[in-house]
Amino acid sequence: MQKGIRRLGVFFIALTLLLVVNLSYLQVWGQKGLLENPANTRRLVEEYGIARGRIITSDGLVLAESVPAPGPFAYLRRYHQGALFSHVLGYDSPQFGRTGLEESYNDQLLGRKPPRSWVEEMTSDVREGNDIYLTLDAEVQSAAAKYLGSRKGAVVAMNPKTGAVLAMYSWPTFDPQALVTQDKDADGTPLADKAMRSYSQDTGSPLLNRAAAGLYTPGSVFKVVTGSAGLEAGLPASTVFDCPGVWEVGGSRVTNYGSPPRSFGRIDMETALTHSVNTYFAQLAVKMGAPALVKCAEAFGLNSVPPLDLPGVSASRIPPAGKMDAVLLAWSGVGQGEVLLTPLQLCLVGCAVANGGRIMVPHLLKEVRKGEAILDRYDASVWRTPISADTAAEMLKMMVSVVEEGTGTQAAISGVTVAGKTGTAEVEGKPPHAWFLGVAPAENPTVVVAVVVENSGGGGGSVAAPIAREVIRAALR
């Protein structure tokens, strides 16, 4: 009898211990998972009971704020600028969750970060979040949208000295307000559901942030990387190659522009970059070898995800050196083959050239504020140093020649020395992409702009360069 009671007692003690362990786990380690579980409607009601902080541009334009709402949620988001900033802002939707900066800085906007003192945690109930101030400039963003217009593509503008993103625009775009509304149509169908269905089924992919996630064949803008790799590998700008209209390698034919393809004879790197001579950069890539080209490209950030404070950023790509034969290497040198870039990555390449070889960490956050009090501030830091200061200076000088007398003359601005590189990327079965990379003012760069116009059918110099020119003009103002 006593033995049975002892066993029963041990059993209940074990159950009690298991209960204590389970409760401890849920309260300490499992709390975050329970809070973030989509089935937890209590979490939604709690979070939408907080007046989420505003999102504001560097020049004071309010992009998003929370307003009182009827129904189960005390507050809902209001986006004041429609589709202009949508890919950066993302949305904060009870149905579809959060994307963009609404996701990245959710804790700050809800007032959970920066951490409060233990006294505040114990004595006050958060009902109002913190404001987020961005590096984005409304005038530069508006210029990007205006001059890209209704053409598929993207524009990224950055300050190379700090890594601050001044503009990031992608088209087609979407209206985030349509995804957060709780209104219904006459049949009782939520309008937000209809909008999401429409955006998701649109073949133009309006929800895709082409600026940070779109991967494109870069064409001749990649010659900035190839040229830099050559300089770093000990092949100076004075290196001369004989550049016929067609250069054969491994049974493949690398051709220059023109019909018939233009022959340039014996030229150096500056002449080749100025006139975007494919047969020069194909030979340069083969001369330096795949390891040198891939090493430099990866130093710029290819095959890595740039540390931008935004979800959904893609890694640009270049094949491993060991998988490159002479044909793939030659075509990679002119930005074709299997090389893929995001506009963001191209802008970061330009930032290295503009900033003495250093790429600063790209960022959209400027400050976190509570009223007038600054709670947190983004501190600029170096992400990578892919090239030397001498290589950066040499490349910048050659890029000035591109705009002054080469393929990029339509990027020129009176009274400003603009450096740049055009690109016209061939795409199988479709019209080419038009690219431009611009840096200004070349004497002391404060803005780098990357533009891609998807399947534009035109060249980078005629299609993308004028867009970059106007974005640069807006940034310099």
Q: How far apart are CA 300 and CA 224, in angstroms?
A: 11
Residue 43 main-chain phi, psi, to 5 deg: -60, -45
Among candidate residues 71, 159, 146, 204, the one with its CA nearest the CA of residue 355:
159
Angle at 467 between CA 465 and CA 468, to 5 degrees: 65
Whether residue 425 contacts residue 216, with contact meaning beta carbons closer than 8 Å, is answered with yes
- The answer to whether the bond into 115 is cis (omega within 30° of 0) is no
Partners of residue 450 on adjacent β-strands: 156, 437
* Residue given tokens 């579809």 in the structure block: 96
| Residue 319 backbone dihedrals phi, psi, to 5 degrees | -65, 155
* Rg of the chain over all Cα atoms, to the nearest angstrom: 27
**Token pair of 172, please?**
């087609």
d(Cα 204, Cα 102) in Å, to the nearest integer? Answer: 23
Compute the distance between CA of residue 413 and CA of residue 17 in angstroms, rounded to an integer: 75
Catalytic residues: 220
Closest CA to 401 of 421, 371, 381, 427: 421
Q: Report how far residue 222's alpha carbon sits from residue 334's, in angstroms, rounded to the nearest whole number.
A: 6
CA distances for 124 relative to 44, 106, 108, 113, 127, angstroms: 20, 20, 17, 15, 9
